[in-house]
Structure 1
Amino acid sequence: MVDGYEGFREFVLARGPALMGTAYLLTGERHLAEDLLQIVLSRLAARWQRIERDGNPEAYARTALYRESVSWWRVRRNREVAVAEIADATGTDDFTHASVRRLVLQRAMARLTPRQRAVLVLRFYEDLGEAETARLLGCSAGTVKSQTHHALRRLRSIAPELAELLAETDSARSGGAR
Structure 2
Amino acid sequence: MADADREFVEYVSARLPRLHRTAYLMCGDAHLADDVVQQTITALYVNWRRVSRADNVDAYVHRMLVHKLIDEKRLGWAKVRLLGWMPEPERPPATPHDDLAERDSLLAALARLPRGQRTVLVLRFLCDLSLTDTAAAMGCSEGNVKSQTARALAAVRQALDVTELAGRNSR
TM-score normalised by the chain length of structure 2: 0.70
Alignment of 1:101 onto 2:99: no
Indicate how the Cα distance of structure 1 residues 23 and 11 shifts in structure 2: closer, same or farther if over 3 A, else same. Answer: same
* Aligned partner letter, 1:9: V
Percent of pairs with identical residues: 41
Gaps of 5+ in 2: 78-88, 90-96, 167-171
Indicate how the Cα distance of structure 1 residues 48 and 166 shifts in structure 2: closer, same or farther if over 3 A, else same. Answer: farther
How far apart are 1:150 and its partner, in Å?
A: 2.6
Aligned pair count? 149
Higher-RCO chain (CA-CA 8 Å, sequence separation at least 6)? 2
Matched residue, 1:171? none
What are the equivalent positions in structure 2 for 1:33-112 lying under 5 Å apart?
Answer: 33-54=33-54, 56-76=56-76, 98-112=99-113
C-alpha separation in 1, matches of 2:152 and 2:75: 20
Please list the CA deviations of residues 30-72 of structure 1 after superposition, one character each: whole Å capped at 9, or x if unmatched: 2221111101001001111121233643222112112332344
How far apart are 1:102 and its partner, in Å?
A: 0.7
Indicate how the Cα distance of structure 1 residues 3 and 131 shifts in structure 2: closer, same or farther if over 3 A, else same. Answer: closer
What are the equivalent positions in structure 2 for 1:22-41 lying under 5 Å apart?
Answer: 22-41=22-41
* Aligned partner letter, 1:150: R
Over the aligned positions, Cα root-mean-square deviation in angstroms equals 3.1
Gaps of 5+ in 1: 78-83, 85-94, 169-178
Matched residue, 1:174? none
Q: Which stretch of the first structure deviates more once superposed, 41-50 or 21-30?
A: 21-30
What are the equivalent positions in structure 2 for 1:80-159 lying under 5 Å apart?
Answer: 98-157=99-158, 159=159
Indicate how the Cα distance of structure 1 residues 53 and 131 shifts in structure 2: closer, same or farther if over 3 A, else same. Answer: closer
Indicate how the Cα distance of structure 1 residues 4 and 60 shifts in structure 2: closer, same or farther if over 3 A, else same. Answer: same
How far apart are 1:156 and its partner, in Å?
A: 4.3
How far apart are 1:76 and its partner, in Å?
A: 4.3
TM-score normalised by the chain length of structure 1: 0.68
